[in-house]
């Protein structure tokens, strides 16, 4: 028989006991061990760990917001990413204002007045489908005032909806090149927000070659009107 030092035999005996104990665990024991509250298993952070992780949010990750902003920027062709942040701040301020108005008593004349003013203003801007005077609700501000709602009022998106362009990117190029006017003013800013009343006055500039080609295709070309 091969001789082994006492320390090696003692270590082998302990490993064997541990293996036997693990094998003898029943399924109920394993399930019970998993049912332990996870909060009791997590130790409290030490002082230096709290200092290092004081700005870390373990619930909301910045990458989630980045994915959402990237999708909106790509869909509505925002040339300046700062526009997304501006729309986000405006939407947050409007929701906060609606929440404060909702905290007032329902029978308050002050609440009814400013609720109608807010809903009517958002309706005129084209951000809400209905206005004040009992037609809309403050809950519509919470649910429907988003960054996308502001983006849908951009000139390029409105042109696409009016069938003046096939894509938003092409519409933005037309705007930057000075082919589009809103009312009597030529607009070259793609971030221009079109209100509900001005939506019917979005058209081509009289001297635009695009308008000339459209009129020629429709056999309505009049050189005098294009001077």
Distance, first Cα to last Cα, the chain: 114
pLDDT in tens, 136-162: 788 888 889 999 999 999 999 999 999
Read off the pLDDT band of 28 (50, 70, 90): very low
Read off the pLDDT band of 59 (50, 70, 90): low
pLDDT value of residue 30: 46
- Tell me the mean pLDDT in the region 27-47: 58
- Tell me the mean pLDDT in the region 194-207: 91
Tell me how far apart the alpha carbons of residues 222 and 227 are, in angstroms, rounded to a whole number.
Answer: 9
Read off the pLDDT band of 134 (50, 70, 90): low
Check whether 65 has a pLDDT greater than 70. Answer: no
- Contact by Cβ (8 Å): 136, 130: yes
Check whether 45 has a pLDDT greater than 90. Answer: no
Check whether 108 has a pLDDT greater than 60. Answer: yes
- Tell me the mean pLDDT in the region 182-190: 93
DSSP 154: B
What 3-state class would DSSP assign to 133?
coil
Average per-residue pLDDT in the chain?
Answer: 80
* Domain chopping of the chain, boundaries: 68-151, 155-218
Tell me how far apart the alpha carbons of residues 122 and 141 are, in angstroms, rounded to a whole number.
Answer: 9
Phi, psi of 193 (to 5 degrees): -95, 125
- Tell me the mean pLDDT in the region 25-34: 48
Burial 138-176 (b: 16+ CB within 10 A, else e): bebbeeebebbbbbbbbbbbbbbeeebbeebeebbebbe
Read off the pLDDT band of 224 (50, 70, 90): low
């Amino acid at each position: 028989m091969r001789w082994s030092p006492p320390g090696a035999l003692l270590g082998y005996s302990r490993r064997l006991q541990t293996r036997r104990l693990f094998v003898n665990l029943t399924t109920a024991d394993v399930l019970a061990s998993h049912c332990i509250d996870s909060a009791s298993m997590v130790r409290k952070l030490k002082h230096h760990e709290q200092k290092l992780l004081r700005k870390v949010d373990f619930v909301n990750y910045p990458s989630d917001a980045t994915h959402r902003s990237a999708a909106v920027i790509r869909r509505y062709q925002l040339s300046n990413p700062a526009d997304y942040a501006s729309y986000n701040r405006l939407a947050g301020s409007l929701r906060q204002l609606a929440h404060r108005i909702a905290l007032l008593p329902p029978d308050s004349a002050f609440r009814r007045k400013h609720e109608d003013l807010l809903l009517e203003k958002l309706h005129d801007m084209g951000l809400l489908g209905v206005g004040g005077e009992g037609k809309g609700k403050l809950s519509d501000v919470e649910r429907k005032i988003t960054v996308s709602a502001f983006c849908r009022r951009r000139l390029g998106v409105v042109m696409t909806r009016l069938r003046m362009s096939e894509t938003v990117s092409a519409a933005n190029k037309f705007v930057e090149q000075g082919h589009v006017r809103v009312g009597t003013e030529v607009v070259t800013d793609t971030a221009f927000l079109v209100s509900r009343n001005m939506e019917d006055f979005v058209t081509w500039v009289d001297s635009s070659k695009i308008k000339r080609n459209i009129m020629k295709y429709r056999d309505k070309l009049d050189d005098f009107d294009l001077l």
